[in-house]
Amino acid sequence: MDLEKLLDTIDFEDIRPYRDDEVEEVLSRLGKSEWLVSGIRTAFLPHLPKFAKPLVDFALRSYMRRKFRSVKSVFDFQRKVSVDTFLTKFVVKKSISGISYSGGEFLDKKLSYLFITNHRDIVLDPALLNYVLTRYGMPLTQIAFGDNLMINQTVADVIRINRSFIVKRNLPIREQLVASLQLSAYIRHVLQDTDESIWIAQGPGRSKDGKDHTNAAVVKMLQLVDRARKIPFEEFTRSCRIVPVAISYEYDPCDRMKAWELYHKKVRGEHKKGKYEDLVSMMAGMKGFKGRVHYAFSKPIEGTFKNDRELAEEIDRKIQSSYRLWATNYLAYDMVKGSTLFSDRYDDHDREQLMKRFKHLPDEVREILLETYANPVVTKMSYVESI
């Protein structure tokens, strides 16, 4: 396949975020969406008596429409609705006991960046990244979202009006190559032609077992547009300001769901995902208690790399060197290893809080869950001499 010729035929219409001239129509659809209103009500008031639901739905719909009146652009929606309202009032205040961040001194407000992070939560990883960027006075990013999450028009509208672009998955080989080139070209277009930043995860899905590693295929996709133009791989990091970001949650709000999925794969050889399983994970991630959260920005990657594996390894090194471990991680490591190596990093209260998450779990699932909290320690130990 001639990638250079193929590149000339590619446009971004089916993967791009919504434009400002589409905002009014999209907000009109969202304001009328019964599915969205009932979904928000069910998520935040799951035990509401039946007789009260119509009144609450009316109040929610009125609140949404009032919020939407001030939204004139996709930037307005992302900042006013997603960050200032949803994240600040409903996620950070209600489910996070403290959010901290480091490395802001490496960022320049005038430059665009390709933020590559480890991936633990479908919605929160990029959403909280943008929350943190606002604290640094930095512009918000565009966000990569898998097409597997676009389960209906309402979800697609919420994703694309939130300045998210679509990553196509699970296609036949030839179609996947075309989709990868389209995605690579789009990301480069945004970074270089619009001077906007982008968030993308280090792998195609969330880490379920607590092990964070950059998939070289992601790096290969990012560089594919250079390959089509016959630009050497060594030039890649010069054309993209890649900033690895380490995200660490004290508690994973989806930890039990992930542990059950890993258990099913272990005993059955597979886990059959339900139609709305990703949506359930998204809601659980937003609502569930996360404890403390830390975002660590690394210095933009410099130097030249011969291939995708070398660059992926450098991204891993930077993420692991700045990854913040919590008492939950140290405690889980000692419990899994039967050691007291990190006994000075946790206390009885930490043990009590972690044990609450294991309530009513079978021993096999409990062990898997413990390992997911211990694995960040194992991984970090393989990259740094002392933790």
Q: Domains of the chain: which residue ranges?
A: 3-24+74-324, 33-72, 327-387
Residue 173 clears pLDDT 90, i.e. is over it: yes
Q: What is the pLDDT of residue 302?
A: 93
Q: What is the pLDDT of residue 5?
A: 86
What's the sign of the alpha-carbon dihedral 175, 179, 184, 189?
A: positive
Q: What is the pLDDT of residue 171?
A: 95
pLDDT tens readout for residues 125-144: 999 999 999 999 999 999 99
Distances (CA, A) of 130 to 86, 135, 138, 198, 333: 12, 9, 9, 10, 31
Which pairs from 378-382 meet CB under 8 Å and 24+ separation?
Answer: 378/211, 378/333, 379/210, 379/211, 379/212, 379/213, 379/320, 379/323, 380/320, 380/323, 380/325, 382/320
User: Worst-scoring range by mean pLDDT, 38-42, 197-201, 255-259, 291-295?
Assistant: 38-42
CATH entry, 3-24+74-324, from 3.30.390, 1.10.3470, 3.30.450, 3.40.1130: 3.40.1130
Q: What is the pLDDT of residue 386?
A: 82
What's the sign of the alpha-carbon dihedral 296, 150, 141, 123?
A: negative
The C-alpha R_g of the chain, in whole angstroms, comes to 21
With cut-offs at 50, 70 and 90, classify the pLDDT of residue 4.
confident
Q: What is the pLDDT of residue 11?
A: 96
Q: What is the pLDDT of residue 6?
A: 87
With cut-offs at 50, 70 and 90, classify the pLDDT of residue 341.
very high
Q: How many residues does the chain have?
A: 387
Q: What is the pLDDT of residue 181?
A: 97
State what percent of residues in the chain have pLDDT above 90: 87
Across all residues in the chain, what is the average pLDDT?
Answer: 95
Mean pLDDT confidence for 316-335 = 98
What's the sign of the alpha-carbon dihedral 117, 208, 252, 84?
A: positive
Mean pLDDT confidence for 148-177 = 95
Q: What is the pLDDT of residue 269?
A: 87
Q: Which residue has the higher pLDDT, 274 or 57?
A: 57
Angle at 204 between CA 198 and CA 210, to 5 degrees: 105
With cut-offs at 50, 70 and 90, classify the pLDDT of residue 115.
very high
Mean pLDDT confidence for 360-368 = 96
With cut-offs at 50, 70 and 90, classify the pLDDT of residue 385.
confident
CA nearest 132: which of 243, 211, 27?
243
Residue 105 clears pLDDT 90, i.e. is over it: yes
Do 60 and 37 contact (CB within 8 A), yes or no?
yes
Burial class (CB in 10 A: 0-12, 13-18, 19+), 91: buried
Q: Name, in order, each residue with C-beta under 8 angstroms of 124's C-beta and a sequence gap of 6 or more.
A: 91, 285, 286, 290
With cut-offs at 50, 70 and 90, classify the pLDDT of residue 271.
confident
Q: What is the pLDDT of residue 235?
A: 87
With cut-offs at 50, 70 and 90, classify the pLDDT of residue 234.
confident
Residue 1 clears pLDDT 80, i.e. is over it: no
**Is the pTM value of this prediction over 0.75?**
yes
